[in-house]
Amino acid sequence: MDGSSSSLKSAALLEQMKLHLASDAGKDLTKKIGLVYQLNIAPKKIGMDEEIYVVDLKEGKVTKGPYKGKPDTTFSFTDNDFLSIATGKMNPQMAFIRGAMKIKGSISAAQKFTPDIFPKPSKL
């Protein structure tokens, strides 16, 4: 199964993100934000069996595995919470306050991590 060694739901969204970054809208994003985010996504519990993705809005790409270098901000959350954030169900500040999202690195960079940077999945 293509690219789905991951059992995470987020993997589907990040796959879409990868394609999205190649589009015009995606290129605007890299111009506008220009930051590197590392996402540590856990299936159930933060910190457990995490899969690591890098959303590089400097270079405009999404890769699996830890960032080589220092990402501007690293987020840790569960699969579901990440999706909730990316689809606007839960705002990132709220997620942080609730302990559903942990932040390491620059908070001002973290504040640019908003739901509008992610493409929305369309429904069949």
Partner 1 sequence: MAARDLVTGGAACAVPGTASSSNPFGALANTILGSSSKAQELKGLPGTSVNVPGSSSDFGPEAPLTTIPGSEYEGQQHQQLDARNSEFLHGFRTADHGFEDAWDEIHRPPVLSHAQGREGQPHFAEFEQIYDHSGSSVLQPTWDGPPQRVLSSFLHSFVDSGRAGVPFRPAALPVLGLSEVDKQCIRDRSCIMARHIFADKSEEFISAQVNALLHSLDIDSDHRIRGPMNGPFRELEEYWNESQGAMKSGMPNSADRWVTEFNQPREIADPEAWAHSFEQLHGANGWASEFEQEQSQMASIGQLSGGNMSNVAAMEQSRMLAHTLAQNTNPKFQNSKFLQFVSKMSRGELIVDENQIKPATGSISADWADEYQAQYNVSPNSWADQFVRGELSQGTDKWADEFAKEHPQHKADDPWVNEFSKLHVQDWAEEFGQQVSEGLFGESSADNWADAYDKYLDEQLLGSKQQSSASRGVYVFSDMNPYVGHPNPLKEGQELFRKGLLSEAVLALEAEVLKNPDNAEGWRLLGITHAENDDDQQAIASMMRAQEVDPTNLEVLLALGVSHTNELEQPEALKYLYKWLQNHPKYGGLTPPEQADSLYYGDVARLFNEAAQMSPDDADVHIVLGVLYNLSREYDKAIKSFQTALKLKPRDYSLWNKLGATQANSIQSADAILAYQQALDLKPNYVRAWANMGISYANQGLYEESLRYYVRALSMNPKADNVWQYLRISLSCVSRNDMFEACDSRNLDVLQKEFPL
Binding site for partner 1 (CB under 8 A): 1-4, 7, 9, 12-13, 15-16, 19-20, 22-25, 28, 44-48, 77-81, 83, 87-89, 91, 93-94, 96-100, 102-108, 111, 114-116, 119-124
For residue 65, the minimal CB distance to partner 1 (Å) is 19
Q: Taking the complex as a whole, how short is the minimal distance between the CB of residue 69 and partner 1, in angstroms? A: 14
DSSP state of 60: T
CB of 104 to partner 1, least distance (A): 5
* Burial category of 72 from C-beta neighbours within 10 Å (exposed 0-12, middle 13-18, buried 19 and up): buried
Q: From edge to edge, which strands make up the β-sheet containing 36-42? A: 61-64, 51-56, 36-42, 73-78, 102-105
Smallest distance from partner 1 to CB 50, Å: 10
Q: Map tokens 């595995």 to a residue.
A: 65
Report the alpha-carbon distance of residue 50 to residue 64 in Å, rounded.
Answer: 11
List C-alpha distances in Å: 113 to 4, 6, 57, 117, 124.
Answer: 25, 23, 11, 7, 27
